[in-house]
Amino acid sequence: MQNSNTKADALTLNINSKGAKKIYINGEPSSSTNYTLPAGCYLVYYDAAGDSGNGCYHFRTDNKMPGNLAGNADTATSAASATNATNDSDGNPINSTYLKLSGGTMTGGITFPSDTSAHNDKGVLFTNGSRIGESSAGMGIYGAGNIYLRPNAGSAAGTDGVEISTSGLFPTNNNSENLGDSSHKWANVYATTFNGALSGNASSATEFSAAKSVTLTGDVTGTASSKAGWSIATTLANTTVTAGAYGNTT
């Protein structure tokens, strides 16, 4: 492209009947003091919002991005030397809207999108497939393997604590944990079968759920059957003593 313009005025260009649009030369608007297009190859860019909304053409020979960028990003040769963005595309401040990948501090709560599935993929996800989230079944902790509950944050596998697996809820180490204590008792415990020793007096026992017979033998005999208590009518054997009458000697 050769330029033979000698008029000291702003340059304009009309393409496809868009009308005469001002030309910007390397980011600067053409004017009575800036009206010469330098020799070379051009990157030509139409900016519909440029020139205060009137539209303009950018002619650039400086290998920069089209348009007139403000700040040091206009001259940066790499992203490392460009000014960091302070807002996202919606205008939200980045520092107060997004949590850092490392070392950030979160305030407030986390809201997860609702899901009607029994096990959703929304929430806090871990690389091994475990997740903490909410579904139609409620809040859940879904483990890729066993789920460990330990009193100390630094506890490693194999130390005291509680584990949840497909087999049930059990202590990590045998005889290492209690279910409640003398000051923190469960109101009621329901189970089909209890295995192991019981301490204390049971309110009822299977052995006496049905009536049992008690029989006396020897010189006094009698029998009774009950599951609550016994009242036994006895018979005195023939011992030459008359029942109810007792002699005396002096």
Q: What percent of the chain has pLDDT over 90?
A: 2
Q: Residue 242: is its pLDDT beyond 80?
A: no
Q: Report yes or no: 170 and 163 within 8 Å, Cβ to Cβ.
A: yes
Give the pLDDT confidence of 129-167 residue by residue, as tens digits: 777 776 666 677 777 778 877 776 555 555 678 888 888
Give the pLDDT confidence of 74-130 residue by residue, as tens digits: 555 555 555 567 777 778 887 777 777 777 777 777 666 665 555 555 667 777 777
Q: Does pTM top 0.75 for this prediction?
A: no
Q: Report yes or no: 97 and 76 within 8 Å, Cβ to Cβ.
A: no
Q: Residue 1: is its pLDDT beyond 50?
A: no
- ∠ CA 129-130-132, nearest 5°, is 135
Work out the number of other CB atoms within 10 angstroms of the CB of residue 237: 11
Q: What percent of the chain has pLDDT over 70?
A: 68
Could you tell me the two tokens for 18?
A: 């868009």
